[in-house]
Amino acid sequence: MLFTTNLFDYKINAMDPQLVVALDTDIETARHLVLSASNVLWFKVGYRLFLRHGQEIIPFLQANDKRIFLDLKFHDIPNTMVNAAREVVSLGVDMFNVHVSAGSEALTRVMEMVELARREGKDVLCIGVTRLTSQEASLDDVVDMARLAKECGLDGVVCSVYEVEAIKAVCGRDFLCVCPGIRPGGNSKDDQRRVASPMDARERGADFIVMGRPILEMSEADLQRLPGILFQG
């Protein structure tokens, strides 16, 4: 799998969705996963790790040439969202997210700030959370949220695999679909509802798949074979 240095060109070369490993762990386990899954480029840092060890894990991932999805799912008044997003961008992460339900003013103002950062050379993607994959959701609802995200200038959305085709039909092929709720066959759904396998994600055109708990259960040998083993037929 190829990944160009330009975040915005990668889809041209990528055959499979990019795997994003969710580091929903303590700091020691996170370091171990990053070093063991040495062929994985993207890692997601969420509340647990960021709140206690943000100052440590972000530089650690950057020192290991990894791409960072900072998953803090901002949802607040526009002014607070812009200020929070500015802080996130200043950390040098590659992707962050906001809730689409924060509304068009908040989304538009966040993207104005992101555009300014891009002009200063920061390649950062801003992705809108539609409906959480831990909940049931109607396709129309998720597509409507994706349309709003697109109109406000976001780079893509977090959605389930089942919504990717409809979103891309409305928002365009380059509008990124980041899909959690990924479970290889036989894995427990845990608290996720709208789940799909990595192969489904590939067939339906997901750009990124986010996986946490199934990866924590993998053997050391399988971690070293990521991401390829996920897409073996």
| Closest-approach residue to ligand C5P (CB) | 212
Q: How far apart are alpha carbons 111 and 196 in whole angstroms?
A: 30
Please name every residue paired with 68 in a beta bridge, in sequence order, or none if there are none.
Answer: 43
Interface with ligand C5P (CB under 6 A), residue total 15
* Binding status of residue 212 toward ligand C5P by CB under 6 A: yes
- Does 132 contact ligand C5P by CB under 6 A? yes
- Residue 199 near ligand C5P by CB under 6 A: no
| Active-site residue (options: 73, 122, 168, 189) | 73
**Contacting ligand C5P within 77-116 (CB under 6 A):** none
Binding-site string for ligand C5P from residue 154 to residue 183, where x marks contact by CB under 6 A and - marks none: ----x---------------------x---
Q: Does the annotation mark 11 as catalytic?
A: no
Q: What is the DSSP string of 72-128?
A: EEE-S-HHHHHHHHHHHHHTT-SEEEEEGGG-HHHHHHHHHHHHHHHHTT---EEEE
Q: Is 193 in the site for ligand C5P (CB under 6 A)?
A: no
Tokens matching residue 96: 């962050």
User: Which range in 52-60, 148-156, 168-176, 207-215 contacts ligand C5P by CB under 6 A?
Assistant: 207-215
Q: Does residue 227 have a cis peptide bond before it, meaning omega lies within 30 degrees of 0?
A: yes
Please, what is the end-to-end C-alpha distance for the chain in angstroms?
16
Residue 129, phi then psi, degrees to nearest 5: -80, 125
Rounded (to 5) percent helix, strand, coil in the chain: 45, 15, 35
Binding of ligand C5P at residue 127 (CB under 6 A)? no
Residue 137 interacts with ligand C5P (CB under 6 A)? Answer: no
Known catalytic residues are: 73
Binding site for ligand C5P (CB under 6 A): 22, 24, 46, 71, 129, 132-133, 158, 180, 190, 192, 210-213
